[in-house]
């Protein structure tokens, strides 16, 4: 008799779409366990338990932040042999799920996931390198994510998780509302506003010389596309290598209103590239020195005691989605 596939579900009880409560165990396939850890410590213990029981397949039922927290706890639980990851997009932002695919929600989603694992249903497999953020002074363990940013991006996220969210904009609309709101602040604000002046930052790419100056925005992702909005604010030449797509705009950004449509399409005009204010490319590593926090999948993380953060190409995560 074939052994049941050992699979585990991490269901974020705080995710917007999961507040209805736990799933009924009798509705789950044999071999699947669902856990709803409420704390970081409980999440770490759950993953250690899964690893000890031989669980090699995980479903993460939450948003980008839940996925970030799960990935951060995997090294202690699984070492370097991470399980496959399936996603249920039930958070406020679900950029990773929009890129690699996701299952729907509830018992039906788990049943279909189990069928893809057993070969009864077709599946889509893809790999994405996580972004690994390290603190050089060793003050905390690395954090793994898929979208990071700072300067005006951090201001935009603060707005999205405050005013925008209070007005009822959730999921993909939070992303679009953040972009629209940030652009409006820049285009209508005074020339000496915080939005126009940006944030002081030193950036070194692949261990090269750091370039200092105020940044309008700095973004990086290891995803291949962003949340179904047709936006891709990155570009590079054909010979560029590295899993990290990055965008670096110095402040104040010249003719930002004129440049914005080209930025969002990832197709800069020659005048934008002429003086180095608008830069983008691919890399394996970014080194930051700054005073303000870095946003990692929606949450702020401050730099180390020396104001430094290292952004590395992290391990490749194997995603499992319906075909």
User: Which range is least confidently modeled, 41-55, 81-95, 198-212?
Assistant: 81-95
> In this predicted structure, what is the pLDDT of residue 195?
79
Number of domains in the chain: 2
Q: 31: alpha, beta or left, given left = phi > 0 and alpha = psi -120 to 50?
A: left
Q: Indicate the angle between helix axes 256-265 and 172-188, nearest 10 degrees.
A: 160
Q: Rounded mean pLDDT of 91-120?
A: 90
Q: Rounded mean pLDDT of 99-115?
A: 90
Give the model confidence (pLDDT) of 257-311 as tens digits: 889 889 989 999 999 999 899 999 999 999 999 999 999 998 999 999 999 999 9
CB 315 within 8 A of CB 130: yes
**Averaged confidence pLDDT in the chain:** 87
Q: Could you tell me whether strands 211-221 and 147-151 are parallel, antiparallel, or unpaired per DSSP bridges?
A: antiparallel
In this predicted structure, the answer to whether residue 11 has a pLDDT above a threshold of 70 is yes
Q: What are 264's two structure tokens?
A: 């969002």
Give the model confidence (pLDDT) of 162-184 as tens digits: 654 444 444 444 555 555 566 66
Among 303, 307, 298, 311, smallest CA distance to 68 is for: 298
Among 319, 23, 160, 297, smallest CA distance to 311 is for: 297
Q: Could you tell me whether strands 32-35 and 285-290 are parallel, antiparallel, or unpaired per DSSP bridges?
A: unpaired
In this predicted structure, the answer to whether residue 248 has a pLDDT above a threshold of 80 is yes
> In this predicted structure, what is the pLDDT of residue 24?
55
Flag whether 311 is in a domain. no
Q: Are 105 and 199 in the same domain?
A: no
Q: Are 86 and 156 in the same domain?
A: no
> In this predicted structure, what is the pLDDT of residue 22?
54
> In this predicted structure, what is the pLDDT of residue 108?
86
Q: Are 122 and 183 in the same domain?
A: no
- Cα separation of 44 and 40, whole Å? 6
- Cα separation of 176 and 92, whole Å? 12
Question: Which structural domain, as residue segments, surrounds residue 96?
Answer: 7-128
Q: Are 186 and 292 in the same domain?
A: yes
Flag whether 57 is in a domain. yes
What percentage of residues in the chain have a pLDDT greater than 90?
66
Backbone angles phi, psi at 86, to 5 degrees: -115, 150
Q: Are 177 and 64 in the same domain?
A: no
In this predicted structure, the answer to whether residue 158 has a pLDDT above a threshold of 80 is no
Q: What are 287's two structure tokens?
A: 């080194």
- Cα separation of 120 and 110, whole Å? 13
Q: Are 161 and 289 in the same domain?
A: yes
Q: Are 231 and 161 in the same domain?
A: yes
In this predicted structure, the answer to whether residue 321 has a pLDDT above a threshold of 80 is yes
> In this predicted structure, what is the pLDDT of residue 161?
66
> In this predicted structure, what is the pLDDT of residue 82?
97
Among 65, 64, 49, smallest CA distance to 9 is for: 49
CB 58 within 8 A of CB 9: yes
pLDDT higher for 210 or 164?
210
Q: C-alpha 148: how far from its chain's center?
A: 7
Residue 13: band (very low, low, confident or very high) from pLDDT cuts 50, 70, 90: confident
Residue 14: band (very low, low, confident or very high) from pLDDT cuts 50, 70, 90: confident
Q: Rounded mean pLDDT of 230-242?
A: 89
Q: Could you tell me whether strands 294-296 and 244-250 are parallel, antiparallel, or unpaired per DSSP bridges?
A: unpaired
Residue 7 parent element (H or E): strand 7-11
The domain spanning residue 22 has which CATH number? Answer: 3.40.50.10330
> In this predicted structure, what is the pLDDT of residue 1?
44
> In this predicted structure, what is the pLDDT of residue 45?
97
- Cα separation of 82 and 316, whole Å? 9
Q: C-alpha 99: how far from its chain's center?
A: 11
Q: Are 282 and 217 in the same domain?
A: yes
> In this predicted structure, what is the pLDDT of residue 23?
57
- Cα separation of 251 and 215, whole Å? 5
Flag whether 77 is in a domain. yes
Q: Rounded mean pLDDT of 97-123?
A: 92
Q: Could you tell me whether strands 57-62 and 84-89 are parallel, antiparallel, or unpaired per DSSP bridges?
A: parallel
- Cα separation of 311 and 309, whole Å? 7
Flag whether 268 is in a domain. yes
Residue 264 parent element (H or E): helix 256-265
CB 1 within 8 A of CB 50: no
Q: Are 157 and 291 in the same domain?
A: yes
Flag whether 134 is in a domain. no
> In this predicted structure, what is the pLDDT of residue 316?
98
Residue 31: band (very low, low, confident or very high) from pLDDT cuts 50, 70, 90: confident
Backbone angles phi, psi at 308, to 5 degrees: -115, 150
Q: What are 54's two structure tokens?
A: 């031989």
Residue spans of beta strands (DSSP E) within 135-250 = 143-145, 147-151, 199-205, 211-221, 244-250
> In this predicted structure, what is the pLDDT of residue 181?
60
């Amino acid at each position: 008799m074939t052994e049941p596939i050992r699979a585990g579900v991490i269901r974020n009880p705080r995710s917007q779409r999961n507040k209805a409560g736990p799933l009924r165990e009798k509705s789950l396939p044999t071999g699947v366990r669902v856990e709803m850890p409420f704390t970081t410590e409980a999440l770490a213990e759950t993953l250690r338990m899964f690893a000890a029981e031989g669980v090699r397949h995980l479903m993460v039922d939450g948003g980008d932040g839940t996925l970030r927290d799960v990935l951060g706890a995997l090294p202690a639980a699984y070492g370097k042999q991470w399980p496959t990851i399936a996603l249920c997009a039930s958070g406020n932002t679900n950029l990773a799920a929009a890129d690699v695919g996701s299952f729907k929600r509830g018992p039906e989603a788990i049943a279909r996931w189990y069928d893809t694992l057993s070969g009864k249903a077709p599946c889509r497999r893809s790999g994405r390198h996580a972004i690994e953020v390290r603190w050089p002074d060793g003050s905390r363990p690395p954090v793994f994510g898929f979208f990071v940013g700072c300067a005006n991006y951090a201001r935009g996220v603060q707005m999205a998780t405050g005013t925008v969210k209070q007005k009822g904009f959730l999921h993909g609309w939070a992303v679009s509302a953040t972009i629209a709101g940030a652009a409006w602040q820049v285009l209508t604000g005074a020339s000496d506003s915080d939005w126009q002046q940006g944030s002081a930052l030193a950036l070194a790419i692949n261990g090269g010389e750091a370039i200092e100056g105020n940044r309008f925005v700095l973004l990086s992702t290891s995803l291949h596309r962003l949340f179904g909005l047709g936006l891709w604010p990155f570009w590079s030449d054909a010979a560029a290598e590295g899993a990290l797509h990055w965008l670096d705009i110095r402040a104040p950004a010249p003719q930002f209103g004129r440049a914005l449509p080209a930025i969002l399409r990832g197709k800069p005009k020659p005048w934008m590239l002429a003086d180095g204010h608008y830069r983008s490319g691919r890399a394996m590593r970014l080194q930051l020195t700054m005073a303000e926090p870095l946003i990692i999948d929606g949450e702020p993380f401050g730099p180390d005691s020396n104001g430094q953060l290292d952004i590395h190409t992290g391990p490749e995560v194997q995603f499992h989605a319906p075909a």
